[in-house]
Structure 1
Amino acid sequence: MAEPKQPGFDLRSTYLHLADAGDALQIEVKPTFWQELMSDEPAGADIRRVKRVDGWLVTRFHMAEDTPRWEMHPAGDEILYLLSGAIDVVLQDEGGERVVALRAGTACTVPQGVWHRMIVHEPGDFLAITFGKGTQHRAV
């Protein structure tokens, strides 16, 4: 077997932006990543690309507590895949609130334009694939 020429990467510290044009940009996650992404003028070229180029952001998170705010993606769906733990995804739409119970190895789709948040029953990791252009937040 051939020796690997480059190491793999960890999706907790390196996110991927999958552009509609077909390329996958690796983005080093710095402490200011989310603050820059939500700002009007992010400093980093990679974060400016995420804001301005249509595509999907692939991330991995560890969840130890409930999310402190609602989130909504007006431009596209979000896929959440729970790798470990037990987390409920609360979806809020015209019909009211509904809960999707995620357990290790299960996934759900958060539809475009639907407010959502997460309630942690058992800390765990999840993979998020988000068409996040224009993402909005509001208090719980």
Structure 2
Amino acid sequence: MPFDPQQRYVHLAEDGHAIELPGGDAFWSLPAAQMEAFDLGWLVTEFECSEDWPNWERHPEGDEYVYLLTGSVQLLLELPDGLQTLSLEGRAAVLVPRGVWHTARVSSPSRLLHITRGRGSEHRPVRADAALTMAS
């Protein structure tokens, strides 16, 4: 049956099975023990973004596929040799390497599709001084 990918996520298990899951807050508020069941395999999510991401994130267990469906964003990657800004407009995709901290500045309301491994994902807030660096 068709479903709205913003309201339902999909977990692609390592054994080849796909499981449809409640999306949004219903997924992210699951108890840690339930979330661990989705650490192996790949999580497919879609988000609507109307403002800059409040956090940096990284995924040490795998690369992340980020697909801009509509809108315009600047994806910032914190690489060993400095901050790299990738401008995405209309429809575009990026592979974020495993373990690279990344965040996004939203230039216009956007919809993004993400495919990543959940295990070990980390988040840290975008600090005011980092926001100034991003603005330059």
TM-score of the two chains, using structure 1 as the length reference: 0.84
Partners of 2:60 and 2:121 within 8 A in 1: yes
- Rounded to whole Å, the distance in 2 between the matches of 1:28 and 1:139 is 26
Work out whether residues 72 and 90 of structure 2, in 8 Å CA contact, stay in contact via their aligned partners in 1: yes
CA contact (8 A) 2:21 2:27 kept: no
Match of 1:130 in 2: 116
Deviation at 1:32, TM superposition (A): 4.3
Q: Which structure: larger Rg?
A: 1
Q: Does 1:13 align with 2:7?
A: yes
CA change 1:30–1:119 in 2 (3 A) is closer
User: How many residues are aligned here?
Assistant: 126
- 1:68-108: CA deviations, max 9, x gaps? 01101010000011010000100002111001111121100
Identity of aligned residues (%): 40
Q: Which amino acid aligns with 1:65?
A: E
Q: TM-score, normalised by structure 2?
A: 0.86
Task: Indicate the residue corresponding to 1:48 in structure 2.
Answer: 36
For structure 2, the 5+ residue unaligned runs are 127-136
Question: Which segments of 5 or more consecutive residues in structure 1 lack a partner in the other structure?
Answer: 1-6
Superposed CA RMSD in Å reads 1.4
SS in 2 for 1:49: helix
What letter is aligned with 1:20?
A: E
SS of structure 2 residue aligned to 1:85: strand
Q: Is the 8 Å Cα contact of residues 72 and 109 (structure 2) preserved in structure 1?
A: yes
